Chains A and B, each alone.
Chain A
Amino acid sequence: MDRRQFLQSTAAGLAAAGTGLQPMRAMAQGEPIRIGLMAPLTGVIASGGKEMVEGTQFWFEKINYQIAGRKVELIIEDDASNPDTALQKARRLVEQNNVHFLTGNLLANTGLAVANYVKGTGTPYFIPIIAADELTQRGRIPNVIRTAGYSGSAFPRPLADWALKQGYKRIATISQDYTFGHEQCGGFSQVFTEGGGTIVQQFWHPLNTADFSPYLGQIADLKIDALFVMETGADATRFTQQFNSFGLKGKIPLLGAMNMTDQSVIRTMGPEVEGIISAAHFAEGADISATKEFVEAYTKKYEKIPSLYGFSMYSGMMWVSRAIEKLGGKVEDKAALIEAVLKTELTDSPLGKPVKLDAYGNPIYDVYIRKVTKRADGKFWNVPVETYPAVSQFWKYDPEAFMKEPAFSRNYQGVKKS
């Protein structure tokens, strides 16, 4: 986001729209709808943060920063990839800017910090990116809703089921050693072992590992049918490259958590990513007209295929906008807004199929098993190979019973003892 974009999006309120703006402003009644967007624009994951802002702006530009006749004022703050800063910015947005709702944040710890704050203020907080299971499970806060987001352990479950169907019996996991990794590996390991598979070994490595060879050396000797990999950002790039140069590509099939093959990772990579399987609700290579349209328009504007961050913020804000339309633009009543969002079924998102929220504020998606495939122009993207309809964050378990079990951690992976 450069200075110009920032001005566009905030005070000037889309000055770039030029001539069309004046009449629209005259039409808009009373105060604008103020939206506080927090994204990590500096720090370790700044590139993802930038795409979050792009996705959000892309949506509001499409509707001319106008919902139900009211103007939208988007206030963007940098959470600096740091929970203390995120908290400070959330306070500023709520107490100083009087925003009607908050959205954004990328890292789980920033989202959890903000969620804890809005628990006290009652401000609606929409989290298309924050995947921490807790927020829509054990530690649910009524005004925190995962519009167009997903919970960490949800998508690896269908992937594990798919792996069982491929006849894989022995699988090892390698993952970044923090909560998001524990949850994704937990979801996978639980379903895979309950279906009769064996988790041979689990490797946990610190974030920002430069050299994977100690792990790759061991993995090569494990005699496994496949490897489940949970990596994000630069770790994902490095892992895939080193896996390839270790000569393991083609010998051990890779099953990835969705961030592993997200566009934010693979758009800079070459043939080493081809063929990696992952599970997600969004596949940029899906043969669905709504998806194609979104991907084309986004690519045209930002000169890159949309990533999870751009897609999720776009769809998340679309979701909230649809709910506000139903309320006739009245966002002041927090309880009504939350109620409306929970009841809104998102029908026209880039997913091309309707999505609903469950009773815990988490969406129920059709989940794709995706394969990284080369396009005609030489770029790589994720193409669906199979679909699991209506996947709940609780998989096939009873929510109440499920939430009585401990949360996933490095020590608790839900592995069924045989």
Chain B
Amino acid sequence: MSGVSRSKSPMGALVVLAILAVGVIAPFFLSRYQIGLATQILIFGMLAMSIDILVGFTGRTSLGHGAIFGASTYVVLYCVTQSGLSPYLAVLLGIATATVLAAIFALLAVRTNGVYFLLLTLALGMIVWGICLRWTQVTGGENGLRGDIRPKALSDYKDFYWFILALAALVTFGIRRFVQSPFGLTLRGIRDSDSRMRSLGYNVPLHLFIGFTMSGFFAGVAGAFYAFFNNFVSPSTVALTQSVESLLMAIIGGVGTLYGSFIGASALIALQNLVSSHTERWQSVLGITFTLIMIFAPEGIVGKFRALREKYANKH
């Protein structure tokens, strides 16, 4: 779990620009369905990256981020379909809700670490899920909420993809700045040893609180636009599987690598879609694949790649 390698070299920047360029021109070569998948990958990549702030840079594994993400989705759908608000305002409210929810989670969870942090975030996520399932008048219960809520300006699937691509670039930039800021360094300090940070005079719970809330904010951004993508939300969006899957994306890509989140999201979503069309045992195939990744590349795909590159560089 090494920190982000700050590639100040022009090479690193070139690679990022090249990937972005590929992303921008991709819609001219892909089918409508593939563009839809790419959009979904970008949205879940943002969610996985928000989790990476905690897992990779703060040393806290959250199993409640699916709930924070989904709460934002619910609020956006509710505001547009039930209250008739403008979708843009709804997005702001959705993000605000997710941030407040994350702050509440944070207040309860910051004093714990390790498996207790994991369990507490899991339990809080389950509460949100329970509310979404039970509060039928507002959330539509099991059936969820739906409606055509995506604004006209984004109704074309290509436009929407480009918009999400730009948003993902912005979010990535924002998260990168956040974890590399002096404040982000204190989070890494907490990850490595919170007792040392405490004795150095840092207010560890406060830093964790801010870190968690920021992470929730970014999860909320992803969730709000997921509402535009799907035009639908049901309790499965806030369920534990959502949290686990997005955590898995961060881990497969490589925790502490940020960009790995997009790789992890691509791997998971692509596998799910390809394999499940060929066999109903797709979940077993997925399980075996992930087990193999954990055995041979526990640092994740991007992490493994970086490790190999360093090994190669040291040899020469």
Contacts and interface: CB of A to CB of B under 8 A. Distances in A.
Interface of A: 1, 3, 6, 41-42, 77-78, 80, 82-85, 87-89, 91-92, 95-96, 108-109, 112-113, 116-117, 119-120, 132, 178-179, 409-411
B137 A92 contact: no
15 contacts: A83-B144, A83-B232, A87-B230, A88-B40, A88-B273, A91-B33, A91-B36, A92-B33, A95-B31, A109-B143, A112-B143, A116-B146, A116-B147, A120-B231, A179-B141
B280 interface: yes
A3 B281 CA distance: 10
Interface in B70-109: none
A409 B237 CA distance: 22
Interface string B223-253: 0000000111010110000000000000000
B142 interface: yes
A85 B242 CA distance: 12
A108 B146 CA distance: 13
Q: Which 6 A-B pairs have the closest CB atoms?
A: A95-B33, A96-B33, A116-B146, A41-B280, A178-B142, A95-B32
A83 B278 CA distance: 20
Contacts of A112: 143-144, 146, 232
A113 B234 contact: yes
B277 interface: yes
Interface residues of B, number: 30
A84 B279 CA distance: 19
A42 B272 CA distance: 13
Given A77-B277, A95-B33, A109 B282 contact: no
B159 interface: no
Contact of B283 (A42, A87, A95, A117): A42
B289 interface: no
A132 B136 CA distance: 15
A185 to B, nearest CB: 14
Interface string B256-295: 0000000000000000110011111011000000000000
A83 to B, nearest CB: 5
B232 A113 contact: yes
Contact of B277 (A80, A92, A132): A92
B148 interface: yes
A58 to B, nearest CB: 18
A418 to B, nearest CB: 26
Contact of B144 (A78, A109, A411): A109
A41 B277 CA distance: 11
Nearest to A7: B278
Contacts of A113: 144, 146, 230, 232, 234
Contacts of B143: 108-109, 112, 132, 179
A83 B136 contact: no
Contact of A411 (B36, B137, B237, B283): B137
A350 B282 CA distance: 35
A77 B144 contact: no
A95 B137 contact: no
A321 B137 CA distance: 39
B148 A119 contact: yes
